[in-house]
Amino acid sequence: MDFRNLKKQDPALARLVEAERTRQAETIDLIPSENIASPAVLEALGSALTNKYSEGYAGKRYYAGNAVVDDIERLAQQRARMVFRLGRQWHVNVQPYSGSPANLAVYYALLKPGEKIMGMSLPFGGHLTHGWKVSVSGKLWKPVQYTLGRDGWLDYAAIRKLARRERPKLIVCGTTAYPRSINFKKFAAISREVDAYLVADISHIAGLIVAGVHPSPFPYADVVTTTTHKTLRGPRGAIIFANRQSQIAKRRRVDIASAVDRAVFPALQGGPHDNQTAAIAAALGEAMKPAFRRYGRQVVRNAKALARELTKRGFQLITGGTDNHLMLVDLSNLGLSGREAEDRLEAVGIVVNRNTIPYDTRSSFDPSGIRLGTPAVTTRGMKEKEMTSIAGLIYAALMPSRPPQAVRREVRRLCNRFPVW
């Protein structure tokens, strides 16, 4: 994209857009929830579909002129099933604007106000919409929060005990800062024991599931939600998968597909963003190709390599390593806070995010840890050798063993070898 029209009509904004493009090109992005969308995805996102209004669903719109939009939405739904290898028992809704509205739509569809939602506590690696107290999910519904063991691992026995005591109507399994695989089968057994819906939020690991390097929740869950960026490399958006064969939905006489659709529209949203739907379809088309499976495998190999190299340099990793795309670093032994580390790293061109660690004694605004991930650097083509270099650059920035200007130059050289655009 050359932004020629934007430069002509709005030079001030064009300069800012170009500045962000340059920032992305000249920095190492290690935020696990960020990635780099392809030119094809960006073209769909910036297409004439932005101009259309399409309240309703394919074949049943409240506006005329939606024949093409209907085909695009159906294509996105079809590809969503194909990429996760699903049958027609799974209903697909591709209209949620992002992950948070998708989760809220599921709760609205399946629960009454005041009923219990059980999800992972935010400071332990959950998400705001998993029932955290400041989120509407923790205000309209009664939250029950599970945590981690002292070793940083999911304690399924403790989760089962909590579920048996609290009897939630819905259990959410999914994380934002957990470096290990999730045992969906165990979550399903717990959910069935207490007669609760099981909702799997796979926003962080969806691309890894597609690539076959993380277990899938689809054999076990009643509903699966995911964002479409992160490891899927698509636009900001979300998908809801509703299992028409859900036994708990049948017992409660809930048409789970219709309930989800009504919750997305008209309950929570108006018309879908048709350009976003097209971009989701484009990203799913890319994810269907063998190259995407190779990408997902490399994401995990890179994460394991980076974790290993950081450990060699004295960094303490929660659970001692990673099974997926991210790792959580406890900086307590270095006398650094997460905020200080984030600032030092950004100064040399390495972008991470500060993050709480399990049982953190510091505030969430200035916690004890940082969260690192490999989706974006893997998209750029980096492999294990570059993870060794990045670990060395992180060490040099945080200890610090070299002048920041020298580290920044090395970061730029590495970025130039693996261009984004």
Q: How do residues 76-125 score in pLDDT, each as one tens digit?
A: 999 999 999 999 999 999 999 999 999 999 999 999 999 999 999 999 99
Average pLDDT over residues 173-198: 98
Q: Which of 29, 201, 286, 323 is catalytic?
A: 201
In 3D space, the residue among 387, 372, 381, 215 whose CA is nearest the CA of residue 294 turns out to be 381
Q: Residue 31's pLDDT is what?
A: 98
CATH class given for the domain over 44-287: alpha beta
Q: Which of 7, 180, 186, 236 is catalytic?
A: 236
Task: Look up 250 and say whether it is catalytic.
Answer: no
Contact yes or no for 191/171 (Cβ under 8 A): yes
Q: Which of 26, 34, 43, 55 is catalytic?
A: 55
Q: Is 1 exposed, middle or buried (0-12, 13-18, 19+ CB in 10 A)?
A: exposed
**pLDDT band for position 396 (50/70/90)?**
very high
In 3D space, the residue among 239, 273, 253 whose CA is nearest the CA of residue 106 turns out to be 239
Task: Look up 155 and say whether it is catalytic.
Answer: no
What is the spatial distance between Cα 156 and Cα 185, in angstroms, rounded to a whole number?
11
Q: Is 109 exposed, middle or buried (0-12, 13-18, 19+ CB in 10 A)?
A: buried
Four-residue CA torsion sign, 397, 398, 399, 403: positive
Task: Look up 374 and say whether it is catalytic.
Answer: no
Task: Look up 220 and say whether it is catalytic.
Answer: no
Task: Look up 230 and say whether it is catalytic.
Answer: yes
Four-residue CA torsion sign, 284, 289, 294, 297: positive
Q: 3.90.1150.10, 1.20.120.10, 3.40.50.720, 3.90.650.10: which CATH number matches 297-417?
A: 3.90.1150.10
**Scanning the structure block, which residue is given the tokens 């920044």?**
408
Neighbour tally for 284: CB within 10 Å: 26
Tens digits of residue pLDDT in 209-264: 999 999 999 999 999 999 999 999 999 999 999 999 999 999 999 999 999 999 99
Q: Which of 43, 52, 53, 340 is catalytic?
A: 53
Q: Which DSSP letter does residue 177 get? A: S
Q: Residue 208's pLDDT is what?
A: 98
Tens digits of residue pLDDT in 56-73: 999 999 999 999 999 999
* Beta strands 116-120; 142-146: pairing state: parallel
Q: What are the φ/ψ torsions at residue 76 (nearest 5 degrees)?
A: -60, -40
**pLDDT band for position 402 (50/70/90)?**
confident
Contact yes or no for 354/341 (Cβ under 8 A): yes
Computed over every residue of the chain, the mean pLDDT equals: 97
Q: Which of 175, 227, 374, 378 is catalytic?
A: 227
Task: Look up 236 and say whether it is catalytic.
Answer: yes
Contact yes or no for 121/135 (Cβ under 8 A): no
Q: Which residues are 369's β-sheet partners?
A: 330, 355
Record the tokens describing residue 367, joined without a space: 């916690």
| H-type alpha helices, 126-273 | 156-166, 184-193, 206-210, 247-251, 256-262
Q: Which residues of the chain form CATH 3.40.640.10?
A: 44-287
